[in-house]
Amino acid sequence: MSFPRYPKYKPSGVEWLGDVPEGWEVKRIGYYFKERREKVSDKDYPALSVTKNGIVPQLDTAAKTDDGDNRKRVCSGDFVINSRSDRKGSSGASDLDGSVSLICTVLCPQEHVHTPFIHHLLRSQPFQEEFYRNGKGIVADLWSTNYSEMRNILLGMPPLPEQTAIAKFLDRETAKIDDLVAEQRRLMELLKEKRQAVISHAVTKGLNPRAPMKPSGIDWLGDVPQTWTVIKLGRAVFMQEGPGLRNWQFTDEGTRVICVTNITETGIDFTRLEKFISTEEYNSSYRHFTVQHGDVLLSSSGNSWGKVAIYEGEEDVILNTSTIRLNQSKDAPLNRDYIALLLQSDTVREQLGLAMTGSCQPNFGPTHLNSVMVAIPSTDEQAAIVAALKNETAELDALTAEAQRAIDLLQERRTALISAAVTGQIDVRDPSLNVREPGGSVPA
């Protein structure tokens, strides 16, 4: 069944709202909220972070950018939204007293406003789009929406008892959806662990469970097949680190640069980030950093360190800082696909984890990678292991993709449900409403 609609609607006169229920008011944000502008110190008012999940304590003191008195006060019950367009979705009603960065707008609710309802309304997709549409800025892809622009946005506001009913409904139903999403995420983690274990076992023990074994002499390798050779990775592969380009070298077009962000577990993804240097500079100074078709790329810095992908493109691209390319070496050939498997194994990751430097931004380089100890089978056995793992990991990857599709559908359902409820497109006031399981259609 579909959720019922209200008995009667009226034109709101506002494009993003459309028609609203007959008993709702349509007034400007400035009527319902006042801006809290008091500047405070994070020494007196604990620093809070504005995230896509809401307002949370800022635990990482190294991440603070506004120390001293350069912060805005937040009181419990205030709604906080990040004004910058590159932080869309970072907002929420705070149940904490504290302080936030000056780039945030802090709204203090006035009478006839139920905070839990406001939390859903001002975080809803239609409102967020309207909020950032009203912003101003001098950069094409970055702008800010301040209170002066925000205060005139028109809201459709139901009576206070109705706000309470809608908030309770959404709290209950979004919690159900969030639980289902959490189940799918746990499944994905289990599949990831299974994939890692399958790869790690194959590249340290081989495919034959009855093969004669020998001590590797390395604690984290243990016993390895008797015919395998234990050597440093640097003796078995070619590797090269990116040149460490500076921000001023990047251009709007030219030769593409592969960054850490572009290296994902599903391949090279340029939709996440696009950077270029001029083709003239590439030809004069950086051609020897060109990534070849079939190179194995490894991220070597930050939270995404250790991600592996093979470059399958034909376009001339180069490496950036914190990226390493590897491939077969003429002196000690390793199957290219086997190199990729080795880099994903627990054996290599544990050694790199111990070798990494940097407290805030852990990283490693070719020096660390060169010293990693690995067990190398014959070329034929490498090919056999690659073929066997291709089928097994493909099955695990398919299950992971299925779980991700389920998460995407659930999140779409959550977004649509919130948007429909807070704009009055569905009537959820009846406490005896027989609510469907998440997954059905919601009127837009």
| 270 backbone dihedrals φ, ψ, rounded to 5° | -85, -5
Give CA angle at 144 (143, 146), nearest 5°. 155
- Look up the domain containing 415 and give its range: 1-24+158-186+394-444
Q: Are 370 and 253 contained in the same domain?
A: yes
* Per-residue tokens: 199: 């790869």
88 part of a folded domain: yes
199 part of a folded domain: no
State whether the Cα torsion 191-196-197-201 is positive or negative.
positive
Q: Are 307 and 326 contained in the same domain?
A: yes
**pLDDT for residue 315 is more than 80:** yes
Q: Which residues pair with 10 in a beta bridge?
A: 20
389 part of a folded domain: no
Give dist(CA 373, CA 393) in Å, integer.
24
Q: Are 134 and 67 contained in the same domain?
A: yes
Percent of the chain predicted with pLDDT > 90 = 66
| 395 backbone dihedrals φ, ψ, rounded to 5° | -65, -45
Give dist(CA 332, CA 389) in Å, integer.
23
* Per-residue tokens: 85: 């367009």
Q: Are 366 and 219 contained in the same domain?
A: yes
Q: Are 232 and 349 contained in the same domain?
A: yes
Last-in-domain residue among 327, 346, 376: 376
**pLDDT for residue 396 is more than 70:** yes
Q: Say which residue the tokens 């019922």 belong to.
A: 4
**Residue 310 — very low, low, confident or very high, per pLDDT cuts 50/70/90?**
very high
| Residues 98, 66 contacting (CB under 8 angstroms) | no
200 part of a folded domain: no
**pLDDT for residue 416 is more than 50:** yes
pLDDT in tens, 44-91: 999 999 999 999 998 754 444 545 568 999 999 999 999 888 888 899
If one compares 412 and 145, the residue with the highest pLDDT of the two is 412
Nearest Cα neighbor of 378 from 243, 260, 207 is 207
pLDDT in tens, 110-155: 888 999 999 999 999 999 999 888 877 655 567 788 888 899 999 9
**Residue 357 — very low, low, confident or very high, per pLDDT cuts 50/70/90?**
low
Q: What kind and span of H or E run contains 380?
A: helix 379-422
Nearest Cα neighbor of 444 from 429, 122, 133, 424 is 424
Give dist(CA 386, CA 328) in Å, integer.
15
pLDDT in tens, 172-224: 999 999 999 999 999 999 999 999 999 999 999 999 999 999 999 888 889 99
Last-in-domain residue among 113, 132, 155: 155
* Helical pair 379-422 and 115-123, crossing angle rounded to 10 deg: 120
Tally Cβ neighbours within 10 Å of residue 403: 19
pLDDT at 403: 97
193 part of a folded domain: no
If one compares 96 and 305, the residue with the highest pLDDT of the two is 96
**pLDDT for residue 317 is more than 90:** yes
**Residue 361 — very low, low, confident or very high, per pLDDT cuts 50/70/90?**
low
Helix (H, G, I), strand (E, B) or coil at 319: strand
Mean pLDDT of 260-285: 90
Q: Are 17 and 30 contained in the same domain?
A: no
Q: Are 125 and 50 contained in the same domain?
A: yes
Q: Are 244 and 369 contained in the same domain?
A: yes
Q: Are 262 and 350 contained in the same domain?
A: yes
- Return mean pLDDT, the chain: 89
pLDDT at 367: 86
Lowest-confidence segment of 196-200, 201-205, 238-242, 398-402 by average pLDDT? 238-242
DSSP state of 97: -
Q: Are 402 and 441 contained in the same domain?
A: yes
**Residue 1 — very low, low, confident or very high, per pLDDT cuts 50/70/90?**
very low
pLDDT in tens, 322-354: 899 999 887 767 888 999 999 999 989 888 888
Q: What is the DSSP string of 17-31?
A: T-EEETT-EEEEHHH
**Residue 436 — very low, low, confident or very high, per pLDDT cuts 50/70/90?**
very low
Q: Are 33 and 176 contained in the same domain?
A: no
| Residues 291, 311 contacting (CB under 8 angstroms) | yes
Q: Give the distance, in angstroms, between the CA of residue 314 and the centroid of all CA atoms in the same chain.
A: 28
Number of domains within the chain: 3
How far from each other are the two terminal CA atoms of the chain, in whole angstroms? 15
How long a stretch of residues is the chain?
A: 444
Mean pLDDT of 294-302: 88
DSSP state of 397: H
Q: Are 243 and 359 contained in the same domain?
A: yes
pLDDT in tens, 158-173: 999 999 999 999 999 9
198 part of a folded domain: no
pLDDT at 62: 44
Q: What is the DSSP string of 255-288?
A: EEEE-GGGEETTEE-TTS--EEE-HHHIIIIIGG
Mean pLDDT of 355-363: 67
| Residues 417, 442 contacting (CB under 8 angstroms) | yes
Mean pLDDT of 250-278: 90
**Residue 277 — very low, low, confident or very high, per pLDDT cuts 50/70/90?**
very high
49 part of a folded domain: yes
CATH number at residue 80: 3.90.220.20
Give CA angle at 429 (124, 165), nearest 5°. 60
| 135 backbone dihedrals φ, ψ, rounded to 5° | -75, 170
Last-in-domain residue among 349, 376, 403: 376
197 part of a folded domain: no
**pLDDT for residue 377 is more than 90:** yes
pLDDT in tens, 12-53: 999 999 999 999 999 999 999 999 999 999 899 999 999 999
Q: What is the DSSP string of 147-160?
A: HHHHTT-EEEE--H
